[in-house]
Structure 1
Amino acid sequence: MLLTEETDWLGGQLTTQAVPPDEHPWIEQFGCTASYRTLRDGIRDYYRRWYPLSERARSARYLNPGEGTVSPLCHEPRVAAAVIDAMLAPWTAAGRLRVLIRHRPVAADVDGDRVHAVVVEGPDGDRVELAAPYVLDATELGDLLALTGTEHVTGFESRAETGEPHAPAEAQPDNMQAFSWCFALEHLAGEDHTIDKPAEYDFWSGFSPEFWGGNLVSLDAPDPRTLRRYPRTFVPNPVADGDVVADQSLSAGDSDLWVFRRIVSRRTLSPGLVGSDVTLVNWPMIDYFLGPLIGVSDEEKAKHLASSRQLSLSMLYWLQTEVPRPDGGTGWPGLRPRGDVLGTADGFAKAPYIRESRRIRAEYTVVEQDLSLEVRGERGSVAYPDSVGVGAYRIDLHPSTGLDTYIDVGATPYHLPLGALLPVRMENLLPAGKNIGTTHITNGCYRMHPTEWNIGEVAGALAAHCLDRGVAPRQVRAQQSRLEDFRASLVADGVEVVWPKLSGY
């Protein structure tokens, strides 16, 4: 088996994009694969083994290292990267897995309905052709779908095609969710770490999209559920009493921006070890929606990536110089980027946080009606006979490149149909991330950490299953006995293929 990665860390949004896991309220008990639970346990064990924890933190049953409110497991991305490497270590040591870091796919050899090889390019520009019986696409933008000519869709589908209540009347293939370039900050009182004024600061500090109701660079932003603009707070290193509650079913958790995605908490560590918390800036105010990364030239893509970084830098500069303080002053010059916790020198994550990918034309496409709370109500989500996983999250769509505001729709806990992993034509290419058969709308809940992990794990298991039994992926779904055999093997490996009966759903 061979795995390639564009950066030098495995893990995607959990590591290189610096996004603490977005998870459902039952994650500590059920609702994910056994290997994902091993990852979560491994992150906590890493802190307990290597960090001098405070007595309070060491006694916590469900340690939340950063005490952020977005997740019960807010942590440093580099810790997750270390745990993922450790999970793979036995297989790399045995020679059964080879990992090529800093390699990206640039071409493919395709004959009819089969991919014979993928060409990847390394950091020195050298190209390597990789051939295998199965190819899994876990790229953030679904790059292999384009390289192999696999039928796929981008942006909004039309209501006529999907029947979805929130779909537009006409398809909008260029209208895609915002992406964000996250960064990490600490605050050192009495010091001045003000960065140079960003080149695009004048533009971004005055940018006021109509649907936003004011300047993007500010502490105010719309509530995704009500679309009413309201102020958040931002005060570095607040003094906290009691436990931090991290349950997005009760609250989005972003009213206090410092605490929202905090990944290092002074209270978690031995007294005096660190002088400041570290918070991860992945806020609504750094969502970049002035252009997509898919379907544009390399020059246009580079321009959008650079402008996204300029937006994030402008937010940082504004926080250092202009944000109102509770004492009546302005700016927190002691804010210092902490790129070291993200594996970089500049404070930015290694890669932008991507919310939307190319998506395969699939044997089955998950639509809003399958899981919308408005539509399904007490019936719960559609129980697919070919379910190979579970997930739960609201349909959470950020502003998009068509200058559309949030779409936030309640959703029932949902299932992952095997049909959504099967391209309509290609025989040996499988999606392994957010590029499965969802729509623009249902991508809004299938793109979260435990669900993407489930997708990738099942895609790999399906390829291995087919090789062992000499069958094709679509045969597994089409024949009941083969489907039951495959689902049983998943359950034996710790994949939950159905939800238990949940109160309220």
Structure 2
Amino acid sequence: MKRRNFIELVSSGGGMLAAGSLLPSSALAESIEKAGSPTAARARELKADVVVAGGGLGGFAAALASLRNGLTVILTEETDWIGGQITQQGVPPDEHQWIETHGAPQSYRDYRNAVRDYYRKYYPLTDEARARKNLNPGDGSVSRICHEPRVALAVLMDTLAPYLSSGKLTLLLEHKVTAADVTGDKVRALKVLNRRSGNEVVLTAPYFVDATELGDLLPLTKTEFVTGTESKKETGELHAPEVGNPLNNQAFTMCYAIDYVKGENHVIDKPKEYSFWRNFVPKMTPAWSGRMLDLSYSNPRTLEPKALGFHPEGIKTNADLNLWNYRKIINKNNFNPGTYPGDITIVNWPQNDYVLGNIVEVSDKEFNKHVDRAKQQSLSLLYWLQTEAPRPDGGQGWAGLRLRNDIMGTEDGLAKYPYVREARRIKALFTVLEEHVGAENRAMITGKKTGNTSAEFYDSVGVGYYHIDLHPSSMGVNYVDFGSLPFQIPLGSLIPQRVENLLPANKNIGTTHITNGCFRLHPVEWSIGEAVGMLVAHSLKNNVIPRAVREDKQKLAEFQRVVRAQGVETQWPQS
């Protein structure tokens, strides 16, 4: 008997499915049962116009843009929270200085304003804070809108509510993609596992979007991809190393939230790996400044030792930066007296960047091992802050620091998922290089001063900006941090070289290790997802594949008009 793949078995079991419906498939169940799966009787099939795997900001934006343009969508997410880095990873937005007026899609700015409105509607703000047009709930220095993960989640879910209610959107939380069915250059279906129940579901659609945090669909669908660092010979980039290394990926971080209750003792149990992390000195090239658990680090630009300050009451220290204020998501002074005993801040600092292992392109066992150790590192940092960190008064430790597991929605108080800075990246029709966006490299190419503009892309479908910010890596490379220029997002970087109906919508687009450093931030990820969602809708409407949209000048111009009409900027304003 001819062996059939799982989509053939599903197709033989019944007729067409309505979007959002759930239908048992006896044929699929039989195939799973023969393979020895205990979930045979619970197999299901779902069908939509597009399947978006990964509910981070890119996946959310791709789903929203698709829904807004009349498509039915299945959105999957490994954890029980959508939002990616802004929610389940606990990272307040990293944004550029023009974000309030331009440099991101209108839908992203709508999200930011909805966050402010949420605080105004439900929180006991002071009159002064409530009247502030650009309210920043935490007044953290990293962003103009530092806010709680749960508020971000509420706003995102409210945005999706009408699509969920109408059946246009099927949201599958705690579902992980485990397999793909591919024929030639097309993906036919994905198999996902319900992590809570153990049920398996088959998802079919004309288009699939990989918005997972690590680009998980790329190997499953046999989509060509790269990882790690390219060599200078490969890319010609000014800051690329002489020798590339596919295992050299940026550190990830297990973030957490803390507040400070003066006069109380909230010291956690001593972490089992505390003695290791207390004395850990990263082996870096160039060298790290000293021990990881210390109020100093390597200056990202110069790599010279740089002092950091810490005072949980926000009091100014001798250092330029008080870490407490850096990612502060609640400033108690923005709320009526007595609402909060102290400020709340997110710990995503140099001291809890995990550099002892790579989680890109590894087994689940290896992934879990490094995540567990990263959690020990983060808890060790907290214990050190509570018991040994030097205080301005000459004492040691701040016993009143309290781990806020309620803020992160987890039992252990740590984020639901690692804060991922780097993933698998597609081999794209066009790859963004440092010469396109890096200030110094671009100046060398153009012969102009570093204040010139980034490369103009004829196929631009969005814009973004952040300095090129590469954290210490899993292979011992210290910070690589330097200036970039406000850039465009080329459509070619969103289209794989071969596969026709799979598109990236996270940190997995056509960048290099270097240029990922400015394309990986919140508004850029959202912009990528927005463009991809509209591209899927446009391709289905006009019966063309994404590659054909880019290759035909008329089709490309038409798509760019659609993009701009929906609030997406494709060029930066002329200065």
Quote the residue 1:212 is aligned against.
288
Quick check: 1:107 aligned with 2:179?
A: yes
Quote the residue 1:409 is aligned against.
482
Quote the residue 2:351 is aligned against.
285
CA distance in 1 between partners of 2:392 and 2:127 (Å): 32
Structure 1 counterpart of 2:432, from 335, 350, 366: 366
Aligned ranges 1:59-458 → 2 under 5 Å = 59-122=131-194, 123-210=196-283, 211-238=287-314, 255-376=321-442, 377-458=450-531
Q: Which runs of 4+ in 1 moved over 6 A?
A: none
Aligned ranges 1:51-62 → 2 under 5 Å = 51-62=123-134
Q: What is the one-letter code of the residue matched to 2:338?
A: G
Structure 1 counterpart of 2:545, from 472, 478, 496: 472
Alpha-carbon shift at residue 200 of structure 1 (Å):
0.9
Identity across matched positions, percent: 53
User: CA offsets per residue over residues 360-393 of structure 1, 9 Å max, x none?
Assistant: 0000000001011112234310000000000001
Work out whether residues 139 and 331 of structure 2, in 8 Å CA contact, stay in contact via their aligned partners in 1: yes
Quote the residue 1:490 is aligned against.
563
CA distance in 2 between partners of 1:221 and 1:254 (Å): 13
CA distance in 2 between partners of 1:364 and 1:380 (Å): 19
CA distance in 2 between partners of 1:23 and 1:272 (Å): 31
Q: Which moved more, 1:118-127 or 1:10-19?
A: 118-127
- CA change 1:331–1:378 in 2 (3 A) is closer
Structure 2 segments unaligned to the other structure (5+ residues): 1-72, 443-449
CA distance in 1 between partners of 2:197 and 2:168 (Å): 26
- CA change 1:161–1:239 in 2 (3 A) is closer
CA distance in 2 between partners of 1:393 and 1:381 (Å): 12
Structure 1 segments unaligned to the other structure (5+ residues): 241-252
Q: What is the one-letter code of the residue matched to 1:200?
A: E
Alpha-carbon shift at residue 125 of structure 1 (Å):
1.6
CA distance in 2 between partners of 1:385 and 1:148 (Å): 29
Work out whether residues 69 and 254 of structure 1, in 8 Å CA contact, stay in contact via their aligned partners in 2: no
Work out whether residues 204 and 217 of structure 1, in 8 Å CA contact, stay in contact via their aligned partners in 2: yes
Count of matched residue positions in the alignment of Structure 1 and Structure 2? 490
SS in structure 1 opposite 2:98? coil
User: CA offsets per residue over residues 396-419 of structure 1, 9 Å max, x none?
Assistant: 000001100000110010000000
CA distance in 1 between partners of 2:382 and 2:500 (Å): 47
User: CA offsets per residue over residues 404-446 of structure 1, 9 Å max, x none?
Assistant: 0000110010000000001000000000111000000000000
CA distance in 2 between partners of 1:372 and 1:439 (Å): 12
Alpha-carbon shift at residue 298 of structure 1 (Å):
2.1
Q: Which moved more, 1:413-422 or 1:183-192?
A: 183-192
Work out whether residues 92 and 98 of structure 1, in 8 Å CA contact, stay in contact via their aligned partners in 2: yes
Alpha-carbon shift at residue 239 of structure 1 (Å):
5.3
CA distance in 2 between partners of 1:238 and 1:91 (Å): 42
Q: Which moved more, 1:439-448 or 1:331-340?
A: 331-340
SS in structure 2 opposite 1:271? coil
Alpha-carbon shift at residue 254 of structure 1 (Å):
7.5
Q: What is the one-letter code of the residue matched to 2:297?
A: A
Quote the residue 2:97 is aligned against.
25
CA distance in 2 between partners of 1:452 and 1:60 (Å): 28
- CA change 1:307–1:92 in 2 (3 A) is same
Q: Which moved more, 1:118-127 or 1:142-151?
A: 118-127
- CA change 1:29–1:369 in 2 (3 A) is same
SS in structure 1 opposite 2:293? coil
SS in structure 1 opposite 2:561? helix
CA distance in 1 between partners of 2:164 and 2:364 (Å): 34
Work out whether residues 183 and 347 of structure 1, in 8 Å CA contact, stay in contact via their aligned partners in 2: yes
- CA change 1:402–1:139 in 2 (3 A) is same
Quote the residue 1:250 is aligned against.
none
Aligned ranges 1:40-51 → 2 under 5 Å = 40-51=112-123
User: CA offsets per residue over residues 77-135 of structure 1, 9 Å max, x none?
Assistant: 11011000011111111111110001011110111110000111112221111001000
Quote the residue 2:78 is aligned against.
6
Q: What is the one-letter code of the residue matched to 1:421?
A: L
Alpha-carbon shift at residue 297 of structure 1 (Å):
2.4
Alpha-carbon shift at residue 25 of structure 1 (Å):
0.6
CA distance in 2 between partners of 1:281 and 1:166 (Å): 29
SS in structure 2 opposite 1:119? strand
Alpha-carbon shift at residue 345 of structure 1 (Å):
2.5
SS in structure 2 opposite 1:440? coil
Q: What is the one-letter code of the residue matched to 1:162?
A: T
Q: What is the one-letter code of the residue matched to 2:305?
A: R
Alpha-carbon shift at residue 318 of structure 1 (Å):
0.3
Q: What is the one-letter code of the residue matched to 2:474?
A: T
User: CA offsets per residue over residues 206-239 of structure 1, 9 Å max, x none?
Assistant: 0112421200011111111111112211111235
Quote the residue 2:55 is aligned against.
none
User: CA offsets per residue over residues 313-340 of structure 1, 9 Å max, x none?
Assistant: 1000100110011111101111111111
CA distance in 2 between partners of 1:260 and 1:484 (Å): 42
CA distance in 2 between partners of 1:338 and 1:495 (Å): 37
SS in structure 2 opposite 1:194? coil
CA distance in 2 between partners of 1:460 and 1:60 (Å): 34
Work out whether residues 262 and 277 of structure 1, in 8 Å CA contact, stay in contact via their aligned partners in 2: yes
Work out whether residues 93 and 143 of structure 2, in 8 Å CA contact, stay in contact via their aligned partners in 1: yes
Structure 1 counterpart of 2:572, from 476, 485, 499: 499
Work out whether residues 314 and 322 of structure 2, in 8 Å CA contact, stay in contact via their aligned partners in 1: no
Work out whether residues 233 and 257 of structure 1, in 8 Å CA contact, stay in contact via their aligned partners in 2: yes
User: CA offsets per residue over residues 62-83 of structure 1, 9 Å max, x none?
Assistant: 1000010000000001101100
TM-score, normalized by length of structure 1? Answer: 0.96
RMSD, aligned CA: 1.2
Work out whether residues 70 and 254 of structure 1, in 8 Å CA contact, stay in contact via their aligned partners in 2: no
Q: Which moved more, 1:53-62 or 1:74-83?
A: 53-62
CA distance in 1 between partners of 2:413 and 2:331 (Å): 18
SS in structure 1 opposite 2:141? coil
CA distance in 1 between partners of 2:158 and 2:289 (Å): 47
CA distance in 2 between partners of 1:331 and 1:305 (Å): 26
CA distance in 2 between partners of 1:351 and 1:372 (Å): 30
